[in-house]
Amino acid sequence: MPGSISIEELEDLTGARNQPPPRGDRDLWQGDGALRAAAAAFGGAAEALAPYGAALGREEMRAAGREANRCTPRFTPFDAGGRRIDRVEFHPAYHDLLRLGIGAGYSAIAWEGAPGGHVSHAAMVYLHSQVEPSTCCPMTMTYAAVPALRASPDLAGEWADGLLSRNYDPSDAPAGEKAGFTMGMAMTEKQGGSDVRANVTKAMRDGEGWRLYGHKWFCSAPMSDAFLTLAQAPGGLSCFLVARWQPDGSRNAIRIQRLKEKLGNRANASAEIEYHGAYAEMLGEEGHGVRAILEMVHHTRLDTAMAPAGLMRAALDEAYYWCTHRSAFQRRLIDQPLMRAVLADLTLDWLGALYLGLRVAAAFDETGAEARAFARIGVALAKFLSNKRCIGVVGEAMEALGGMGYVEDTPLPLLFRETPLNSIWEGSGNVICLDILRTLAREPLAGEVLAAELEAARGLNRAYDAALEAHRARWPALPCEGEARWFAESLGGLLTASVLLRHRPGAVGDGYVRARLSGGRGQVAGALGGLDEAGILGALGEGA
Ligand SMILES: Cc1cc2nc3c(=O)[nH]c(=O)nc-3n(C[C@H](O)[C@H](O)[C@H](O)COP(=O)(O)OP(=O)(O)OC[C@H]3O[C@@H](n4cnc5c(N)ncnc54)[C@H](O)[C@@H]3O)c2cc1C
């Protein structure tokens, strides 16, 4: 018939040409040479990370991540008879992801006594964030609660074994009936989150224990078995452990008001709660609540410093794969000079965050005042810088996929929605920068160990040496508050460069100095010349 075409021609015209093939199962450990090298450099346990990376990379787990984000948690306040149950139900895929993480030792490995436990833990955060970042939250809080509990040996004795269990037990039951626990934290109130001293929740003595009255504006993972929380006792702001069940086996009076409707982190529930005389036990000393909970916050900060490295890795891995299999204007995207400039520039931030995060995690593994001081300043610098870079990196990686990057069939939207969060919680950007100034002002040792770490790379790259001198000339003393971000960005960049120059010399170390410390470039990704793009992009292709 004139004007018609054959079925074969139609199939040819409508076929999926120039579309990258489905990726299928991947191995997030074997396929990531940079992770393997960094973990080896800082003492991570390959035997724990290899099976975890292989399991997480299966298509089945990615599908679980998508499902858990699509079918968000559901809140049921009452049972059929009108009795309060305050239950939040999650999609089975959410539980699958937690079972995998807790089973692999995400929450426990740092405390099990093997060398490099925190590095292995941080590498697990990096791996898990690539597949489904919001399930990291309950596991991170469980990991971080363990050292905080040391403030009260009795409470530690009661809870530590369950927190360190590798059995994930999501049942809604008293702790004594469970094979493993998770723990959350509830600090933020309506009138103030960063400034926890503004907390008004009230604690009143009740025999051996306490009763809490008040609210918490954010309480993530509300089905956790217990929460560390802050409340005003007669002796001042104090830290308490509030279990979901009371010692007599009845439900504790923790009322979930509603779940937040969030931009991302959608598989995880974040609730508003009220304490209606909830039974609580004091952790640490009365009036010293901030000190007690800061031990938990110090450890959650490690995870919020590490997660952006995972988000950047996942986004760049997708972008690299896409550009390797997609052509425009008769040439593969990965062979287009401008795309190479963009991806190489972004890759530096991923590698910087990965190496810096694991270097800081290694300080958590070491003992002694110097390591502790480095962990404190290093984790703040890494949290600030890596998260700020992450938002731009994932956004640019999305653009490398063109229109498909904006579509939920690819992981980019899920990753992108997560990017601002690790910068906001556990100390928002400004708060972290002010904390950096405070630490350097109050703990001279932190300044000394940081200076030694920066000096360790002197002589490896002339532009690095010049940038270090310029930083010191600009700030011979600590800056005023208004310059805290500028100061922290500069210091964080120098610290990252110092780690990369020593552990990833050549294209990456020198490239980082060229791109982040030397000036003479534009402000958007790819707006520079002089990078060894092949050497840098090799990190994305390694092991693939
Ligand atoms: C998804 C999600 C889950 C959460 N889960 C939990 C949870 O489980 N438990 C919990 O306790 N909290 C949780 N939070 C709360 C979170 O930790 C707080 O939102 C955060 O600490 C900031 O507190 P805020 O919202 O009160 O902001 P504010 O403290 O009002 O800060 C607002 C802004 O002001 C800046 N700022 C504050 N002080 C200064 C200053 N001196 N100078 C300059 N700038 C300043 C901050 O950096 C921030 O950018 C969650 C938040 C989110 C988004």
Cβ atoms within 10 A of the Cβ of 477, count? 7
Contact 280, 211 (CB under 8 A): yes
- SS3 assignment, position 343: helix
Contacts of residues 159-167 at CB distance under 8 Å and 24 or more positions apart, as own/partner, are 159/183, 159/226, 159/241, 162/225, 163/107, 163/108, 164/107, 164/108, 164/111, 164/112, 165/102, 165/108, 166/102, 166/103, 166/104, 166/105, 166/108, 167/102, 167/103
Q: Which amino acid is it at 503?
A: H
- Nearest CA-CA partner of 44 in 59, 55, 32: 32
- pLDDT tens per residue, range 98-127: 999 999 999 999 999 999 999 999 999 999
Average pLDDT, integer, range 297-310: 98
CA of 304 to the centre of ligand 1 (A): 14
Residue nearest ligand 1's atom 31 by CA: 194
Report the distance separating Cα 258 and Cα 273, nearest Å: 8
Q: Can you tell me the distance from the alpha carbon of 107 to that of 455, in angstroms, rounded to the nearest whole number?
A: 34
Which residue puts its alpha carbon closest to atom 26 of ligand 1?
193
Q: Pick the residue whose CA is nearest to atom 30 on ligand 1.
A: 192
pLDDT of residue 416: 98
CA of 285 from ligand 1 middle (Å) equals 25
Atom of ligand 1 nearest to the CA of 421: 53
| Pocket lined around ligand 1, Cβ cut-off 6 Å | 184-188, 192-195, 218-220, 262, 265, 270, 421, 424-425, 428-431, 434
What distance in angstroms lies between residue 431's CA and the mean position of ligand 1's atoms?
9
Closest atom of ligand 1 relative to the 429 alpha carbon: 47
Atom nearest to 193 CA in ligand 1: 26
Residues 165-198: tens digit of each pLDDT: 999 999 999 999 999 999 999 999 999 999 999 9
Looking at residues 400-412, what average pLDDT do you find?
97
Give the closest residue (by CA) to ligand 1 atom 25. Answer: 193
Whose alpha carbon is nearest atom 7 of ligand 1? 219
Residue 34 has pLDDT above 90, yes or no: yes
pLDDT in tens, 245-280: 999 999 999 999 999 999 999 999 999 999 999 999
Using 50, 70 and 90 to split pLDDT, how confident is the model at 541?
confident
pTM across the whole model: 0.98
pLDDT band (50, 70, 90) for residue 1: low
pLDDT confidence of residue 542: 65
Q: What is the model's pLDDT at position 507?
A: 98
| Residue 428 CA, closest ligand 1 atom number | 47
Task: Give the model's pLDDT for residue 3.
Answer: 83
Tokens of 104: 């692999």
Q: Mean pLDDT check: name the lowest of 72-81, 216-225, 535-544.
A: 535-544
Q: Which atom of ligand 1 is the closest one to the Cα of 426?
A: 17
User: Please, what's the b/e burial string for 271-281 (b: 16 or more CB within 10 A of its CB; e: otherwise)?
Assistant: bbbbbeebbbb
Span from the CA of 424 to the centroid of ligand 1 (angstroms):
6
pLDDT for residue 49: 98
Q: Which is the closest atom of ligand 1 to the Cα of 270?
A: 3
| pLDDT > 90 fraction of the chain, expressed in percent and rounded | 98
The string of pLDDT tens digits covering residues 119-157 is 999 999 999 999 999 999 999 999 999 999 999 999 999
Joined together, the tokens standing for residue 324 give 């390797």
Give, for 473, the enclosing helix (H) or strand (E). helix 462-474
* Cα(482) to centroid(ligand 1), Å: 19
DSSP annotation of 207 reads: T
- Within 10 A of 32 (CB to CB), how many other CB atoms are there? 28
Q: What pLDDT score does 543 carry?
A: 52
* Cα 292 to Cα 169: distance, rounded to the nearest angstrom: 27
pLDDT-derived band at 544 (thresholds 50, 70, 90) equals: very low
Nearest residue (CA) to ligand 1, atom 50: 218
Place of tokens 């100390």: 427
Main-chain dihedrals φ then ψ at residue 171, nearest 5 degrees: -65, 150
pLDDT at 148: 98
One DSSP character per residue, 425-466 reads: SSS-HHHHHHHHHHHHHH-HHHHHHHHHHHHTTTTS-HHHHH
Q: Whose CA is nearest to atom 51 of ligand 1?
A: 425
